Amino acid sequence: MDPLISHCLRCGTCCRKGGPALHLADLPILQNGWLRPEQLITIRKGELAYSPKTGRAEPLKRELVKTANRSGEWACVFYDELRKECSIYQHRPLECRLLQCWAPEELMAVSGRDTLTRGDILGPDHPLLESMTQHERDCPCERLLELVASLQTGQPLPMAAAEHLAESIKKDLAFRSLAVQRFNLSLAMELFLFGRPFLKILAGHGLLVRENGHGLHLQWQD
């Protein structure tokens, strides 16, 4: 950052890098309807996420809920490109209120602390909470990614690992399909409740998933 800058230039750079993670302090924004679950996305425990403290991608020790990105882009869904402004500026999340790119200390101080979970947002009596909890139990992301991390990139996948990954992908997709039909979920609500599908997560780790006459085939991307 230019050391001469000491105020926001409204360049949009921060907003184009993705939405903020939500914290307990953001619950009133959700409770008052300024943010809705279908405008959020869940990054599950074990997934890689950029750590501002270390400057690299690291497996999450706890799930994060963030504002979603605009379709096909990194930019936060609330960033208005034409106006160069946030469409919910008066009710923006904590991280956005603290963000000063020329002085990041306040933001760094809250990074990873007191973050919201899906359960916090849904509340204990929400009718979709049971389905979300069951998916987390039946399709755990952390163990899947621990297996991927143990494999040697570029080398043929051991048969046992390939079979386990393929079965996990199918189980995840089947669970989602049933939940979407049962509760008439939009894609946005599915991504909030269950996070990204396993096949998308694995692609981010370099594993390409193809379907052939014998089932799912996984291989490292070139």
Closest listed residue to residue 145, CA positions, set 201, 74, 210: 201
Whether the Cβ atoms of residue 65 and residue 116 lie closer than 8 Å to each other: yes
pLDDT(1) > 70 = no
Tokens 């990614």, residue?
145
pLDDT band at 5 (very low <50, low <70, confident <90, very high): low
- Give me the sign of the Cα torsion angle 122, 114, 137, 162: positive
pLDDT band at 52 (very low <50, low <70, confident <90, very high): confident
Residues 131, 136: Cα–Cα separation, whole Å: 9
Average pLDDT of every residue of the chain: 91
Q: Dihedral sign for Cα 61, 96, 13, 42, please.
A: positive
* pLDDT higher than threshold 90 for residue 193: yes
Per the listing, tokens 């402004």 go with: 85
